[in-house]
Amino acid sequence: MAMDPSLVSFFQGDYVPLVEAKIGVLTHAFGYGTGCFEGIRGYYNAEQNQLYLFRLREHYQRLIESSRVLMMKLRYTADELSEMTLECIRRSELRQDTYIRPMVYKSSEAIGVRLHDLDDDLVIIVTPFGNYIDIDRALKVGVSSWKRIDDNMIPPRAKITGAYVNSAFAKSEALQNGFDEAIMLTAEGHVSEGSAENLFMFRKGTWITPPITENILEGITRDTIMTLLREELGQPVIERPIDRTELYSADELFLCGTGAQIAPVGSVDHRPIGSGGVGSITGQVQRLYFDVVRGNVARYDHWCSPAYNTGAAERPEAAHARNGHEAGTPIPAAIPA
């Protein structure tokens, strides 16, 4: 990824060019994976000349929860973090699909494995970003030989940087074996998720997704899809354990996440899912999802935070995000450390 000198990040308490946001090689998070992060997308709507950040506050609430798991004190509220992100977007003058990567990390330059008695810091990075994986066709996936981490090992409900080594093993194995993506099982043999995506299976007239007790990330996109399936498409959705071989007899299957978005699956372990192409309901979900995230479905405006004041009447939710949790108190453009 080329470093664009015009991109602005929030780093060590101020807005700085991304090219200047550097950490030392002795930083604890670099040596031990003691950080947590979020992946957030912004979608550009050319007709409205607006960039919408999708479910921004929910992502930051999850980042705060992940920080607590790692014994870190994030001194900003979700509303303040949202405004800081919008400020990075505006200063970078991004008017295209965008990826936001906020990270809270153990910033002490220290040797020794622990979580307590270390300094914490925050960085927010914004950058142009397209598709993480090919979502215009049905993917070939394989069940990984690498098992999903367990809540009593590295809590998967927190987006801990070091935990993604588990995903990296599965992803490389899948790609090197000729698949597009991996599906990971729990130690008990139940389906958990992809290498970095939640999973939905359509079987016998019902959509099924693994519950949070199967060591999944409590995905914001997952929650979005459950809402859209039920409220917009009238589809039944349940959460229950899924066995590996159930995947082979599924009628439709897709993976979802902020990075992957809605990724149809056409085969699992060389066995076709349905006709082997994009399922009919999956296609509907995908189209609806992209309408929602680009701010084209008024019912879900509260999920979309606009980056720019285009002169139109501002949504109440956007005003809330801009002004912070204290009514009428604007958040300053630079927040001191």
Within 10 Å of residue 314's Cβ, how many Cβ atoms?
A: 12
* Cβ-Cβ contacts under 8 Å for 227 (sequence gap 6 or more): none
Residue 231 lies in a domain: yes
Flag whether pLDDT at 307 surpasses 50.
yes
Same domain for 196 and 147: yes
68 and 185, same domain (yes or no): no
Residue 337, CA distances (Å) to 74, 79, 86, 309, 332 in order: 11, 17, 18, 28, 13
Quick one: pLDDT band at residue 320, thresholds 50, 70, 90?
Answer: very low
**Domain that includes residue 225, residue range:** 139-293
Residues 117 and 158 in one domain: no
Mean pLDDT over 275-282 rounds to 96
Question: Does 269 reside within a domain?
Answer: yes
Instruction: Give the pair of three-digit tokens for residue 249.
Output: 């007899």
Classify residue 2: in a domain, yes or no: no
The amino acid at residue 312 is A
* Residue 2's pLDDT band (cuts 50, 70, 90): low
Same domain, 171 and 286: yes
Cα 320 to Cα 98: distance, rounded to the nearest angstrom: 22
Q: Which residues are catalytic?
A: 159
Q: What is the pLDDT of residues 23-56, one digit of tens each?
A: 999 999 999 999 999 999 999 999 999 999 999 9
- In a domain, residue 320? The reply is no
The residues that bridge with 126 in the sheet, in sequence order, are 100
- Answer yes or no: do 169 and 273 share one domain: yes
Kindly list the distances between the CA atom of residue 89 and the CA atoms of 19, 43, 155, 314, in Å, as whole numbers in the listed order: 16, 12, 31, 18
Question: Does 332 have pLDDT greater than 90?
Answer: no
**Residue 153 shares a structural domain with residue 267:** yes
Range 59-88 average pLDDT = 97
Report yes or no on 222 lying in a domain.
Answer: yes
Boundary-marking domain end, from 112, 130, 148? 130
pLDDT attached to residue 274:
95
Q: Please tell me whether residues 278 and 176 are part of one structural domain.
A: yes
Binning pLDDT at 50, 70 and 90, where does residue 134 land?
confident
CATH number of the domain to which 92 belongs: 3.30.470.10
Binning pLDDT at 50, 70 and 90, where does residue 203 land? very high
Query: Are 118 and 110 contacting, i.e. CB atoms less than 8 angstroms apart?
Result: yes
Same domain, 160 and 240: yes
Residues 147 and 230 in one domain: yes
Of 89, 247, 71, nearest in space to 158 by CA: 71
**Is residue 299 domain-resident?**
no
CA distances for 53 relative to 45, 74, 189, angstroms: 11, 21, 36
Lowest-confidence pick of 249-263, 288-302, 310-324: 310-324
pLDDT, position 262: 97
In this structure, are 216 and 111 located in the same domain? Answer: no
Residues 110 and 215 in one domain: no
**How many other CB atoms are found less than 10 A from the CB of residue 245?**
11
Report the number of secondary-structure helices (H) and strands (E) in the chain: 8, 17
* Mean pLDDT score of the chain: 92
- Which of 257, 272, 293 is where one domain is finished? 293
Q: Is the pLDDT of residue 327 over 80?
A: no
- The residues pairing with 15 across neighbouring beta strands, listed in sequence order, are 10
Domain boundary among the residues 92, 109, 130 is at 130
193 assigned to some structural domain? yes
Q: Give the Cα separation of 212 and 185 in Å (integer).
A: 13
Is the pLDDT confidence value at 241 over 80?
yes
Least confident of 239-243, 286-290, 327-331: 327-331
The SS3 call for residue 196 is coil
For 175, residues 6+ apart whose C-beta sits below 8 A from its C-beta are none
Number of domains in the chain: 2
Half-sphere exposure of 47 (CA within 13 A, CB side): 4
Mean pLDDT for 245-253 is: 98
> In which residue are the tokens 């000198």 written?
5
Using CA atoms, how far apart are residues 208 and 205, in angstroms rounded to an integer? 10
pLDDT of residue 76: 96
User: Does 172 have pLDDT greater than 90?
Assistant: yes
Least confident of 135-144, 283-292, 309-318: 309-318
Answer yes or no: are the C-beta atoms of 59 and 309 closer than 8 Å. no
Q: Is residue 329 part of a domain?
A: no
Q: Which of 68-72, 174-178, 328-332 has the lowest mean pLDDT?
A: 328-332
Q: In this structure, what are the phi and psi dihedrals at residue 50, rounded to the nearest 5 degrees?
A: -135, 145
For residues 145 and 75, state if they share a domain: no
